[in-house]
Chain A
Amino acid sequence: DTGVSQNPRHKITKRGQNVTFRCDPISEHNRLYWYRQTLGQGPEFLTYFQNEAQLEKSRLLSDRFSAERPKGSFSTLEIQRTEQGDSAMYLCASSPSGGNQPQHFGDGTRLSIL
């Protein structure tokens, strides 16, 4: 399977703990995106990378959130001091570069905060 891979698929943690998610994009895609999706809503943009450079961050991405893509391949999204409101599905997508391109999504990491 050469699609976007995310792990873990599910994460349950206590409030105040730190969590880290990983995304492996489609190998030839330069762009990588993170979204958050809550029940009954569409995905909300968080941030995106062109190769290793983080080009844009949403206001939704508070100081507790940090994303990296150190070698321009896989990416990690870390949430520090998790809060109840962080419970959501975190989706990763990738696309080729060159204007607007279709984004291909992974199956997400579902985060539940106890």
Chain B
Amino acid sequence: GESVGLHLPTLSVQEGDNSIINCAYSNSASDYFIWYKQESGKGPQFIIDIRSNMDKRQGQRVTVLLNKTVKHLSLQIAATQPGDSAVYFCAEGPKTDSWGKFQFGAGTQVVVTP
């Protein structure tokens, strides 16, 4: 079946370095993508989103890149800080009447080392 998945289950990054988290998706009907950050014991926190008519979107210290040709999504975090340690999920939403029926990947654990 079609799914959302992540390439790396764990990413270790040194404080101050840039982080790149990757996500592969296979549903060509997906129209909307979101990155969430989840800290232990908390719900997912919205980071940034991108629609399928865009290739890149920037936020504060974060950039999301969408490559529809290879069905690939990435999240770049600039100058990674200890507070960025968390699990990061990508989620995709279909271009159908099922608005908001997001499908999540399994997540990537980001560990920031001093």
Taking beta carbons and an 8 Å cutoff, which residues of A are in contact with B? 4, 6, 31, 33, 40-45, 48, 56, 91, 93, 95, 97, 99-108
Q: How far is the CA of A102 from the CA of B36 in the complex (A)?
A: 10
If A48-B101, A101-B100, A103-B102 touch, does A43 touch B49 (CB 8 Å cutoff)?
no
11 extra A-B contacts, CB within 8 A, seeds A40-B107, A45-B101, A107-B43: A31-B99, A31-B100, A40-B106, A41-B107, A43-B89, A91-B43, A97-B99, A100-B51, A101-B100, A102-B34, A103-B46
Cα separation A83 to B4 with both chains bound (whole Å): 28
Q: Which residues of B contact A99 (CB under 8 A)?
A: 32, 99
Determine if B25 is an interface residue (Cβ-Cβ < 8 Å): no
Cα–Cα, bound, A91→B28 (Å) = 27
